[in-house]
Structure 1
Amino acid sequence: MRVLVTALLTALASLPALAAPPPLDMETIMANPDWIGAPVEDAYWSVDGNQVYYALKQDGSPVRDLWRVPAGGGTPQRLDPAAAATADGGKPVFDRAHRHAAFVRHGDIFLRDLASGSTVQVTRTAAKERDPRFSLDGRLLTFRADNDWFVYPVAGGPVSRAADLQEKDDPKAKKKKDELADDQQALFKTLRTLRADEDAMTADADALAAADPGRAPKPFWLGAKVSIADTSLSPDGRWLIVVTQAKDADTGKVADLTHYVTDSGYAETEATRSYVGRNDPAPQSLRLLDLTTHASYPLDTKTLPGITDDPLADIRAKTVTALRKDGKTDQADALAAPKTRPIIVNGEYSPGIVWSDDSHEVAVQLRAIDNKDRWIASVDLDRHALVSQHRLTDKAWINWDGNDFGWLRDGRTLWYLSEESGYAQLYTRPLGGKPTALTSGHFEVDHPVLSPDGSRFFVRTNKVAPYSYDIYSVPVSSGELTRITRFEGLDDFTLSPDGDRLAVLHSSPYVPSQLATVDVGTHAVHDLTDTRKPAYKAREWIAPAIVEVPSQHGAGTIWAKFYSGGKATASASRPAVIFIHGAGYLQNVHLSYPAYFREQMFHNLLVQRGYVVLDMDYRASKGYGRDWRTAIYRQMGHPELEDLLDGKAWLVANQGVDPKRVGVYGGSYGGFMTLMALLRAPGEFAAGAALRPVTDWTSYNHEYTSNILNDPQLDPDAYKTSSPIRYAEALSDPLLIEHGLIDDNVLASDSIRLYQRFIELHKKNFWMSLYPMERHGFVHPDSWYDEYRRIDELFRDTLEKPASR
Structure 2
Amino acid sequence: MQRKLFLLPLLFIVLTELSAQSSLSVEYIMRDPKWMGTFPSSARWNDSGTQILFRYNAENDPADSLYKIDLANTSEIKKVHWPEEKSLRKSSSTFNGSKTLRLYLDDQKIILEDLKKGTEKVILTWFQNLNNPSFLADENLISFTSQGNIFVLNRTSGEVKQVTNISSGNDRSKKKEDGEEKLGFLEQDNLDLLQVVNERKETAKERKAYRESIQENDDKFTFYTEGKNPINLSLSPDGKYATFLYFDRPSNNKSTIVPDYVDASGYTTNLNTRPKVGTEPTKSEVGIYDLSRDTVYFVSTSELPGIKDLPDYVKDYPEKTWEEKERDVILSQPYFSPNGEKAIINIRSADNKDRWIAEIDLTTGTLKTLDRQRDEAWIAGPGIGWSFSGGTMGWLPDNKHIYFQSEESGYSHLYLLDVTTGEKKALTSGNYEVFDPFLSNDNKSWYLTSSEVGPGERHFYKMPVMGGKKIKLTSMTGKNDVTLSPDEKNLAIIYSYSNQPEELYLQENKEGATPQKLTDGQSEEFKAYNWRDPELIQFTAEDGASVPARLYKPEASKNNGAAVIFVHGAGYLQNVHKWWSSYFREYMFHNLLTDLGYTVLDIDYRGSAGYGRDWRTGIYRHMGGKDLSDQVDGAKYLINTHGVDSEKIGIYGGSYGGFITLMALFNASDVFTSGAALRSVTDWAHYNHGYTANILNTPEEDPIAYRRSGPIYFAEGLKGNLLMAHGMVDVNVHFQDVVRLSQRLIELGKDNWEMAIYPVEDHGFVEPSSWTDEYKRILKLFNTTLID
Note closer, same or farther for the CA distance 1:260–1:425 as it changes in structure 2 (3 Å cut).
Answer: same
Question: In structure 1, what is the equivalent of residue 409 of structure 2?
Answer: 421
Shift of residue 238 of structure 1? 4.4
Shift of residue 786 of structure 1? 0.7
Question: In structure 2, what is the equivalent of residue 14 of structure 1?
Answer: none
Q: Which string of whole-angstrom CA distances, capped at 9 and with x for unpartnered residues, describes residues 345-403 of structure 1?
A: 25xxxxx5433332222221110001000011122223433222111110111116421
Task: Name which structure has the greater RCO, CA cutoff 8 Å, separation 6+.
Answer: 2
Equivalent runs, 1:292-307 vs 2, <5 Å: 293-307=293-307
Question: In structure 2, what is the equivalent of residue 330 of structure 1?
Answer: none
Task: Give the AA of the match of 2:375.
Answer: D
3-state SS in 2 of match to 1:464: coil
3-state SS in 2 of match to 1:387: strand
Question: In structure 1, what is the equivalent of residue 214 of structure 2?
Answer: 197
Question: In structure 2, what is the equivalent of residue 342 of structure 1?
Answer: 328
Q: TM-score, normalised by structure 1?
A: 0.85
Aligned mates of 1:738, 1:101 — CA distance in 2: 51
Aligned mates of 1:93, 1:540 — CA distance in 2: 47
Equivalent runs, 1:192-231 vs 2, <5 Å: 193-198=210-215, 200-203=216-219, 206=220, 220-224=223-227, 226-228=228-230, 230-231=232-233
Alignment partner of 2:654 out of 660, 667, 677:
667
User: Could you list the runs of 5+ residues in structure 2 that have no partner in the other structure?
Assistant: 1-20, 182-200, 385-391
Q: Tell me if structure 2 keeps the 8 A contact 1:468–1:488.
A: yes
Shift of residue 233 of structure 1? 3.7
Question: In structure 2, what is the equivalent of residue 795 of structure 1?
Answer: 782
Aligned mates of 2:491, 2:348 — CA distance in 1: 33
Q: Tell me if structure 2 keeps the 8 A contact 1:375–1:388.
A: yes
Question: In structure 1, what is the equivalent of residue 502 of structure 2?
Answer: 513
Choose 496-505 or 544-553, whichever is displaced more. Answer: 496-505
Q: Tell me if structure 2 keeps the 8 A contact 1:458–1:471.
A: yes
Shift of residue 89 of structure 1? 4.1
Alignment partner of 2:358 out of 377, 382, 391:
377
Alignment partner of 2:626 out of 615, 631, 639:
639
Question: In structure 2, what is the equivalent of residue 548 of structure 1?
Answer: 538
Alignment partner of 1:444 out of 433, 439, 457:
433
Residue 384 of structure 2 is aligned to residue 397 of structure 1: no
Question: In structure 1, what is the equivalent of residue 757 of structure 2?
Answer: 770
3-state SS in 2 of match to 1:488: coil
Aligned mates of 1:797, 1:574 — CA distance in 2: 14
Aligned mates of 1:765, 1:145 — CA distance in 2: 63
Note closer, same or farther for the CA distance 1:659–1:499 as it changes in structure 2 (3 Å cut).
Answer: same
Q: Tell me if structure 2 keeps the 8 A contact 1:662–1:799.
A: yes
Note closer, same or farther for the CA distance 1:617–1:98 as it changes in structure 2 (3 Å cut).
Answer: closer
Residue 675 of structure 2 is aligned to residue 694 of structure 1: no
Question: In structure 2, what is the equivalent of residue 504 of structure 1?
Answer: 493
Shift of residue 590 of structure 1? 1.1
Question: In structure 2, what is the equivalent of residue 650 of structure 1?
Answer: 637
Q: Tell me if structure 1 keeps the 8 A contact 2:665–2:675.
A: yes
Task: Give the AA of the match of 2:86.
Answer: A
User: Could you list the runs of 5+ residues in structure 1 that have no partner in the other structure?
Assistant: 1-20, 207-217, 322-335, 347-351
Q: Tell me if structure 1 keeps the 8 A contact 2:381–2:412.
A: no
Cα root mean square deviation, aligned: 3.1
Aligned mates of 1:634, 1:52 — CA distance in 2: 46
Note closer, same or farther for the CA distance 1:149–1:673 as it changes in structure 2 (3 Å cut).
Answer: farther
Question: In structure 2, what is the equivalent of residue 703 of structure 1?
Answer: 690
Shift of residue 529 of structure 1? 2.5
3-state SS in 2 of match to 1:85: helix
3-state SS in 2 of match to 1:314: helix
Question: In structure 1, what is the equivalent of residue 25 of structure 2?
Answer: 25
3-state SS in 2 of match to 1:202: coil
Alignment partner of 2:396 out of 381, 384, 408:
408
Aligned mates of 1:126, 1:694 — CA distance in 2: 51
Shift of residue 288 of structure 1? 0.9
Task: Give the AA of the match of 1:412.
Answer: K
Alignment partner of 1:786 out of 769, 773, 788:
773
Q: Tell me if structure 1 keeps the 8 A contact 2:541–2:547.
A: yes
Residue 469 of structure 2 is aligned to residue 467 of structure 1: no
Q: Tell me if structure 2 keeps the 8 A contact 1:241–1:286.
A: yes
Equivalent runs, 1:477-492 vs 2, <5 Å: 477-490=466-479, 492=481
Shift of residue 106 of structure 1? 9.8
Note closer, same or farther for the CA distance 1:517–1:219 as it changes in structure 2 (3 Å cut).
Answer: farther
Question: In structure 2, what is the equivalent of residue 583 of structure 1?
Answer: 570
Alignment partner of 2:247 out of 245, 248, 252:
245
Note closer, same or farther for the CA distance 1:744–1:98 as it changes in structure 2 (3 Å cut).
Answer: closer
Aligned mates of 1:789, 1:585 — CA distance in 2: 28
Choose 26-35 or 43-52, whichever is displaced more. Answer: 43-52
Shift of residue 680 of structure 1? 0.7
Task: Give the AA of the match of 1:196.
Answer: S
Residue 527 of structure 2 is aligned to residue 537 of structure 1: yes
Q: Tell me if structure 1 keeps the 8 A contact 2:560–2:787.
A: no
Aligned mates of 1:563, 1:492 — CA distance in 2: 26
3-state SS in 2 of match to 1:627: helix
Shift of residue 773 of structure 1? 0.7
Q: Tell me if structure 1 keeps the 8 A contact 2:570–2:656.
A: yes
Equivalent runs, 1:22-421 vs 2, <5 Å: 23-56=23-56, 63-71=63-71, 73-87=74-88, 89=90, 93-102=94-103, 110-120=111-121, 133-142=134-143, 153-154=154-155, 157=158, 163=164, 165-170=166-171, 172-178=172-178, 193-198=210-215, 200-203=216-219, 206=220, 220-224=223-227, 226-228=228-230, 230-235=232-237, 237-246=239-248, 249-277=250-278, 279-291=279-291, 293-312=293-312, 314-315=314-315, 317-318=317-318, 320=320, 336-337=322-323, 339-345=325-331, 352-399=333-380, 401-403=382-384, 404-421=392-409
Aligned mates of 1:162, 1:534 — CA distance in 2: 62
Task: Give the AA of the match of 1:693.
Answer: S
Aligned mates of 1:135, 1:399 — CA distance in 2: 33
Aligned mates of 2:158, 2:79 — CA distance in 1: 36
Choose 721-730 or 280-289, whichever is displaced more. Answer: 280-289
Aligned mates of 1:401, 1:662 — CA distance in 2: 35
Choose 130-139 or 699-708, whichever is displaced more. Answer: 130-139
Aligned mates of 1:153, 1:36 — CA distance in 2: 55
Task: Give the AA of the match of 2:30.
Answer: M
Choose 716-725 or 64-73, whichever is displaced more. Answer: 64-73
Aligned mates of 1:168, 1:319 — CA distance in 2: 48
Aligned mates of 2:606, 2:454 — CA distance in 1: 17
Q: Tell me if structure 2 keeps the 8 A contact 1:565–1:608.
A: yes
Aligned mates of 1:771, 1:106 — CA distance in 2: 43
Q: Tell me if structure 2 keeps the 8 A contact 1:34–1:59.
A: no
Question: In structure 2, what is the equivalent of residue 607 of structure 1?
Answer: 594
Q: TM-score, normalised by structure 2?
A: 0.87
3-state SS in 1 of match to 2:648: strand
Q: Tell me if structure 1 keeps the 8 A contact 2:381–2:407.
A: no
Q: Tell me if structure 2 keeps the 8 A contact 1:132–1:143.
A: yes
Shift of residue 176 of structure 1? 3.8
Aligned mates of 2:142, 2:584 — CA distance in 1: 43
Shift of residue 565 of structure 1? 3.0
3-state SS in 2 of match to 1:318: coil
Aligned mates of 1:775, 1:149 — CA distance in 2: 42
Choose 741-750 or 378-387, whichever is displaced more. Answer: 378-387
Question: In structure 2, what is the equivalent of residue 625 of structure 1?
Answer: 612
Task: Give the AA of the match of 1:223.
Answer: E
Aligned mates of 1:603, 1:92 — CA distance in 2: 45
Q: Tell me if structure 2 keeps the 8 A contact 1:315–1:715.
A: no
Shift of residue 311 of structure 1? 2.2
Shift of residue 425 of structure 1? 0.8
